[in-house]
Amino acid sequence: MAPNEISSTTPEQSEPRTQFTDLLRSRRAELGESLAKVEGRSVDPLTGKGMKRGRIYRLEGGEKGGVTPPDFWELRALTEGYRLPIERLQDAAGAQFHGVEPLRVGTGEAVAYVRKLDRLPPDQRERLLHLIDSLVPPQSGEDH
């Protein structure tokens, strides 16, 4: 394994995780586009840095032996190239490279609430949790 290369497995798992590479491959197939076409669009809108076809090929799992996780600017570029929301790419990258399972909720509205929650001071988060508990009591086994 190369020095900067990260295995996509966790100690408790023997099969490699492929959520990110699978997402890229399936999305490009869905778009019916070549690597060259995706490469042409894969430009980070903030830095203007473009991704190279070889890097995109490796991120799609085109080479055996592991994939180096993408940098954040690369994720922004891939949102353009694959026409996907950055959250989908972040969730898939987190799952494949770090074993982090994305938050699964029923609606996009709930996701928006969760994303805003971290911006509240701790005392307001606690008050909000108590309010939610008063409206929807916790089920057995839940923390609150």
Which has the minimum average pLDDT: 21-25, 35-39, 69-73, 120-124?
A: 120-124
Within a domain: 10: no
Within a domain: 13: no
Task: Please indicate, yes or no, whether residues 93 and 112 belong to a single structural domain of this protein.
Answer: no
Within a domain: 55: yes
CA distance to 7, 23, 63, 66, 89, per residue, from 2 (Å): 10, 24, 13, 9, 24
Task: Please indicate, yes or no, whether residues 81 and 122 belong to a single structural domain of this protein.
Answer: no
pLDDT over threshold 60, residue 128: yes
pLDDT over threshold 90, residue 113: no
Task: Please indicate, yes or no, whether residues 90 and 122 belong to a single structural domain of this protein.
Answer: no
Within a domain: 1: no
Task: Please indicate, yes or no, whether residues 39 and 92 belong to a single structural domain of this protein.
Answer: yes
What pTM was computed for the model?
A: 0.65
Task: Please indicate, yes or no, whether residues 53 and 113 belong to a single structural domain of this protein.
Answer: no
Task: Please indicate, yes or no, whether residues 70 and 113 belong to a single structural domain of this protein.
Answer: no
Three-class SS of residue 36?
A: helix
Host domain of residue 76? 19-98
pLDDT in tens, 4-23: 444 444 445 557 789 999 99
Highest mean pLDDT among 25-29, 63-67, 92-96, 140-144: 25-29
Task: Please indicate, yes or no, whether residues 73 and 142 belong to a single structural domain of this protein.
Answer: no
Q: What is d(CA 90, CA 73) in angstroms, rounded to the nearest whole number?
A: 12
Task: Please indicate, yes or no, whether residues 57 and 113 belong to a single structural domain of this protein.
Answer: no
pLDDT value, residue 98? 87
Within a domain: 2: no
Task: Please indicate, yes or no, whether residues 127 and 94 belong to a single structural domain of this protein.
Answer: no
Under the banding of pLDDT at 50, 70 and 90, the label for residue 127 is confident
Instruction: Tell me the helix, strand and coil percentages in the chain, rounded to 5.
Output: 50, 5, 45
Nearest to 10 by CA among 104, 102, 100: 100
- Is the torsion defined by CA of 60, 51, 70, 89 positive or negative? negative
Within a domain: 45: yes
pLDDT value, residue 74? 97
User: Which position has the higher pLDDT, 85 or 129?
Assistant: 85
pLDDT in tens, 53-110: 999 999 998 877 667 899 999 999 999 999 999 988 998 999 998 888 766 655 666 7
